[in-house]
Structure 1
Amino acid sequence: MRYGFIGLGHLGRHLASSLARGGFQVAVHDRDRAAAEPALKLGATWAASPAEAAKDADGLITCLPSPKASESVITAALPGFKPGATWIEMSTVDEDTLARLAAPLSARQVDVLACPVTGGVHRAEAGEITVLVGGDKALFDRHRGALQAMGGEVIHLGGHQQASVTKVVTNMLAFIHLIAAGEALMLCKKGGVDLASAFKAIKASSGNSFVHETESQVILNGSYDIGFTMDLACKDAGFALEMGRRFGVPLKLAGLMEQIFVEGRAKYGGGAWSSMIVKLLEDSVGEDLRAPGFPARLEAS
């Protein structure tokens, strides 16, 4: 199987490298040529354009920061698709955008799989990120090997909508947990608890979460480097609220979470790491959440 891969950012560069490492033929493209170097060293080839990445590929994989970026790339790649190929969208996009972009592909006999990923950059680097798959089961089976090369758990959830909703839900929960973890650590600090000990206690308790185990570490270090930005968090929080309105679910906690992230983006900028949302609390209280022995960046396991 031959694949094109477009979007070599914080996540995409690791996914493309895993695909090349898995023995697949991969042609990679990104606006930043230097971002392709890790995959190229593993045997991938460089494609000069999105259309070239799609040319002769059984699947074109995209991992991009926004629906606007996905639209731009797919429009540019359209002439390169061959009949019978598949567009594998690993970005987080809304279902309406996916359906709109799929229409001209369908006219060229190109199928679509929605395959957003969740679990963080460090898991992508380790080849252990979770892949959420939406689309025809036979089509999923055709590309299962490539998806398994990039991820740990690969879960088929049904159609495009089911994959999109599930991905947005995982991010919604992560953002809520992040805010809650910051408040919990601050309460411990103000109560005189050593923060390194507090981290261990929470991790070993019923209050633990994946977000605490990961993002709390870079908060306690002070780097906040989780490889995910405020802009991306606000985009995905907006998707959650829109789905809540569409399905008639009152997302009260998610609504508050979105307001907090909009405030954080306004204060620290859209390119700031999303974990810096906890800095809003640090600044308002006048206390930093720092402890020795925690990493500046989560490493692949």
Structure 2
Amino acid sequence: MSSPDWKIAVLGLGIIGSRAATNLAKAGLGPVTTWNRTPKGLPGERASVAEAAQDANLVLLYLKDSLAVREVALRLFALPEAERVIVNHSTIDLATTKWLAAECEARGIVFLDCPFTGSREAAAGAGLVYYAGGPKEWIDKVEPVLLKSGKAVLRTGEVGTATIMKLVTNLISACTVQALAEALATATSHGIAPEALTEAVALNASGSVLAAMKLPTMAKGDFDTHFSLANMLKDSRYVLELADEAGLDTPAIKAVSERMAELCEDGLAEKDYSALAAPYLKA
């Protein structure tokens, strides 16, 4: 099997999956079929996992969580045996990644562990960055496809390493946005303009792409969803599991996870995770 022979199925058409599927179709790599639990009415969309994937030899998963990945994987495993590669782009827990790898190996299916970094705009502009864990020769074959929806592929090692890399980088993002929310609230309550804080952070060692992107919208109470609070909460819980397995105390992400859970219960689950600033705007 070589990359020009790919018949691609994209399963999961949320904020990222729908845009990745669009970019793949535009790239003319071959037939691209899609499926989503809630129909989206997109080109190439099929009514079931089986219909979308039955003729595909490259199946890309952009699903919500570990439960969804396990459920969809079982439907894929029920298909007639065929030469197939499954690439998981969903952010899931390490146990599910290892389960999926083992189940694929038992069936002669190639599995790659490839979560991504980048949110809505990056996905629309084919600017995602994929972390890739698995056999080098298969990453080599799939990389040209990944680079139609992404700008880079970072090879992390064996299956499971990419999942860990994704989770720990999301730990940093969640804690950073909580820190930005606290800094913004404290500064503005003492009369400093949000614009002044944004400029100060940009010139400070704490400045980052994330801060430049989130601070201005947080100051306006604009929580238009690029990456949802519910998804970041999910990922924080997965990374807490990793820490527990290693016997580590991680108080920062634990506190942020608890705050995100509270805000999700308050109705902000589908807002951007920059809604960590929302409680301060009500004060």
TM-score of the superposed pair, with normalisation by structure 2:
0.91
- 1:31 matched to 2:30: no
Amino acid of the structure 2 residue aligned with 1:226: T
Which structure 1 residue ranges, 5 or more long, are not aligned? 287-301
Residues 82 and 152 of structure 1: is their aligned pair in 2 closer, same or farther, counting only changes over 3 Å? farther
Q: Distance in 1 between matches of 2:154 and 2:142?
A: 13
Whole-angstrom distance in 2 between the partners of 1:86 and 1:33: 24
**Matches of 1:269 and 1:125 in 2, distance apart?**
24
Structure-2 change in CA distance of 1:106 and 1:202 (3 Å): same
Give the corresponding residue for 2:209. 210
Question: What does residue 293 of structure 1 align with?
Answer: none
**Partner secondary structure for residue 131 of structure 2:** strand
Q: How far apart, CA to CA, are the structure 2 residues paired with 1:187 and 1:179?
A: 12
Match of 2:46 in 1: 47
Q: Distance in 2 between matches of 1:103 and 1:157?
A: 19
- Aligned partners of 2:268 and 2:275 also within 8 Å: no
CA distance in 1, matches of 2:216, 2:129: 21
- Cα separation, 1, equivalents of 2:271 and 2:94: 27
**Who is 2:227 aligned against?**
228
Q: CA deviation at 1:248?
A: 2.6
Partner in structure 1 of residue 124 of structure 2: 125
- For residues 1-40 of structure 1, the aligned pairs below 5 Å read 1-25=6-30, 26-34=32-40, 36-37=41-42, 40=43
- Stretches of structure 2 lacking an aligned partner (at least 5 in a row): 1-5
| Greater Cα offset, 8-17 or 245-254 | 245-254
**More displaced 10-residue stretch of structure 1: 46-55 or 62-71:** 46-55
Superposition pairs for residues 145-164 of structure 1, below 5 Å?
Answer: 145-164=144-163
In the TM superposition, residue 201 of structure 1 has moved relative to its aligned partner by 2.6
SS of the aligned residue for 2:147 comes to helix
Q: Summarize the alignment of residues 107-118 of structure 1 with structure 2, pairs less than 5 Å apart.
A: 107-118=106-117
**Whole-angstrom CA distance in 1 between matches of 2:119 and 2:99:** 28
**1:120-158 Cα distance to aligned partner (Å, 9 max, x none):** 211111111111111111110110101111111210101
* Closer, same or farther: CA 118–140 of 1 in aligned 2, 3 Å: same
Residue in 2 that maps onto 1:185: 184
Asked whether the equivalents of residues 23 and 148 of structure 2 are also in contact (C-alpha less than 8 Å), the reply is yes
* Contact persistence 2:260–2:276 (CA under 8 A): yes
Q: Distance between the aligned counterparts of 2:79 and 2:46, measured in 1?
A: 11
The question of whether the paired residues in 1 share the 8 Å contact of 2:174 and 2:256 is answered with yes
Alignment check: 8 A CA contact 2:9 2:58 kept: yes
Matched positions, count: 277
Letter in 2 for 1:14: R
Residues 58, 87 of structure 2: 8 Å contact kept: yes
Matched, 1:199 2:198: yes
The answer to whether the 8 A contact 1:53-1:77 is kept is: no
SS at match of 1:61: strand
Name the CA distance, whole Å, in 1 between partners of 2:165 and 2:97: 15
User: Separation in 2 of the partners of 1:82 and 1:151?
Assistant: 30
Task: Give, in angstroms, the shift of residue 109 of structure 1.
Answer: 1.2
Q: Is this contact kept in 1: 2:195–2:216, CA < 8 A?
A: no
**Distance in structure 2 (CA, Å) of the matches to 1:18 and 1:204:** 35
CA distance in 2, matches of 1:258, 1:59: 35
SS of match in other structure, 1:248: coil
8 Å Cα contact 1:53-1:80 kept in structure 2? no
Alpha-carbon distance between aligned partners in 2 of 1:186 and 1:148, rounded to the nearest angstrom: 40
Match in the other structure for 1:252: 251
Structure 2: distance between partners of 1:198 and 1:192: 11
Q: Percent identity?
A: 24
In the alignment, residue 233 of structure 1 is paired with which amino acid?
A: M
Distance in 2, Cα, partners of 1:81 & 1:152: 34
Question: Equivalent residue for 1:85?
Answer: 84
Q: CA deviation at 1:269?
A: 4.4
Shift of 1:81: 6.1
Q: Which amino acid aligns with 1:115?
A: C
In structure 1, what is the Cα distance between the partners aligned to 2:278 and 2:165?
28
SS in 2 for 1:60: strand
Measure how far apart 1:95 and its partner are.
2.0
Residue range with higher mean Cα deviation, 51-60 or 64-73: 51-60
